[in-house]
Amino acid sequence: MVGNVSRIFNIGVQGATLATRFLLIFFLAKFLDPALVGYYGLFTVAIAYSLYLVGLDFYIYVSRELLKATSEKRGTLLKGQALLSLFLYMIFLPVALLVLSHSDLPKQLVWWFFPILVLEHLNQEIYRLLIALSEPVSASMLLFIRQGSWALLLVALMSWDPLSRHLQTVMVLWGVAGLGAAVAGVWKIRTLNLGGWRQTVDLHWVRKGIAVSAGFLLATLALRGINTFDRYWLEYLNGIEVVAAYVLYFGVAGTLLTFLDAGLFAFNYPVLIKLNHEQKHDVAHEIVRKMLFLTVLASAIFAVVSWLLLPYLLVWIDNSVYSGAIRLYPYLLLAMTINALSMVPHYALYARGQDRPIIRSHVAALFVFVLATWIASKYSPVFAVPMGLVFSFAVILAWKGVAYAQLRNLDRKPKTVY
């Protein structure tokens, strides 16, 4: 009973966060020049991609290790992760700032890059830690502070004060909310009484983690590369205003995966890891089957509701840049639906320690995205990028699906006893 209440509350908090983010992108489209919305989209994907370079996807290794370690040793593991990130910042940050300073981004966004990156990274790792330690409600509350609170305030501020309708306001509120979430997150971790903070970091353990994470990093950079290059490629083919429309429709379609992550995947993947560690594969497969059913159901409901509501929202925005590009949405909705379905075998494989199919599918998808987008750009520059997304995510779904089916069939075979 308590578990069901926690899940319902968690879904409610995540739903509120999604609603505010949903409002944010529409209010930005309503009150900002489309070019500024496009630059905001470019900035957010630059932050998202950089998070993997300073984090090295080390959390994937740490999450599994934390669940195996006692509470007295978990602080040491997190300390090792923190020291690794500090070293990566010293290498990556000067290069990133140099590149961005010579990009088309407005200078005010370039100067916000470092503080936003640090706060987003810290908050993201705290969120992942709480999820791994089966604290999804606390994680969701912090996520609302980090993403939902400032979006609500920005919506109210832009509605009442025309002077606030610029990117500087967005950056200030984003930074303040990130700082508040970080403070609350650190306090929450202190209450968990994790031991081992004073112990010396095991450099051998860190090197092993880097080796394990390296493959995942390659896969993640490939996948995130798709969701970063898409906007820059679209700008090259069609201009910054089309990027603004793309950001709007991608934001709408992307809420599907965010909702599933909060209400379904965040609760089930720690359980899957535990069950597979205990060799209870039949129970784990049953959970995966239920995850698939719920993902299909949620995707179908989301597709119908979003398609019915979108025209009314576009009338409210009242900007031809967005209404004229509504044909992008079916492609993006299809891509996000396929992506959501692929997360079911993804978590099943990850919980089992089957990393190779995940890595290979992501790398292959990047090549498919580049090839498909390049070919489609010769015939339809506007739809080239969305079509590339559909093909690349389809490859990921097929690859992971086949790998999981093979694993399932292997578990069904009777074990030979000698």
Give yes or no for a contact between 189 and 13, defined as CB atoms under 8 angstroms apart: no
- What is the Cα–Cα distance from 137 to 367, expressed in whole angstroms? 38
- What is the Cα–Cα distance from 418 to 220, expressed in whole angstroms? 42
Domain residue ranges of the chain, discontinuous segments joined by +? 1-201, 218-418
pLDDT at 386: 95
Tell me 202's DSSP state.
-
pLDDT at 140: 85
- Report the 10 Å Cβ neighbour count for 231: 22
pLDDT at 417: 46
How far, in Å, are 57, 245, 257, 259, 302 from residue 308 at the CA level? 38, 18, 19, 19, 10
| Sign of the dihedral defined by the CA atoms of residues 319, 324, 325, 326, in that order | positive
Q: Report the amino acid identity of residue 23.
A: L
pLDDT at 122: 94
pLDDT at 229: 85
How many angstroms from the chain centroid is the CA of residue 117? 15
Q: For the chain, which ranges sit under pLDDT 70?
A: 1-7, 262, 413-418
The pair phi, psi for residue 155, each rounded to 5°, is: -60, -45
Classify 195 as helix, strand or coil. Answer: coil
Q: Report the amino acid identity of residue 105.
A: L
Give yes or no for a contact between 172 and 192, defined as CB atoms under 8 angstroms apart: no
The pair phi, psi for residue 162, each rounded to 5°, is: -60, -25
Give yes or no for a contact between 344 and 296, defined as CB atoms under 8 angstroms apart: no
Q: Report the amino acid identity of residue 4.
A: N
For the whole model, what pTM was predicted? 0.78
- What is the Cα–Cα distance from 1 to 5, expressed in whole angstroms? 6
- What is the Cα–Cα distance from 17 to 5, expressed in whole angstroms? 18
Q: Which residue has the tokens 């290979």?
A: 360
Q: What tokens were used for 87?
A: 């070293």
174 Cβ contact partners less than 8 Å away, ≥ 6 residues apart: 116, 150
Q: What tokens were used for 395?
A: 């490859």
Q: Report the amino acid identity of residue 119.
A: L
How many angstroms from the chain centroid is the CA of residue 376? 27
Kindly provide the b/e burial profile for residues 194-203, where b requires at least 16 CB atoms within 10 angstroms of the residue's own CB: bebeeeebee
Q: Report the amino acid identity of residue 216.
A: F
Helix (H) / strand (E) containing 5: helix 2-31
Tell me 201's DSSP state.
P
Q: What tokens were used for 383?
A: 């739809």
pLDDT at 418: 43
User: Comparing C-alpha atoms, which of 217, 226, 228 is closest to residue 55?
Assistant: 217
Q: What is the largest CA-CA distance in the chain?
A: 78
- What is the Cα–Cα distance from 155 to 300, expressed in whole angstroms? 29
Task: Compute the C-alpha angle 253/254/255, nearest 5°.
Answer: 95
Catalogue the long-range contacts made by 410-416 (C-beta closer than 8 Å, 24 or more residues apart): 411/281, 411/282, 411/285
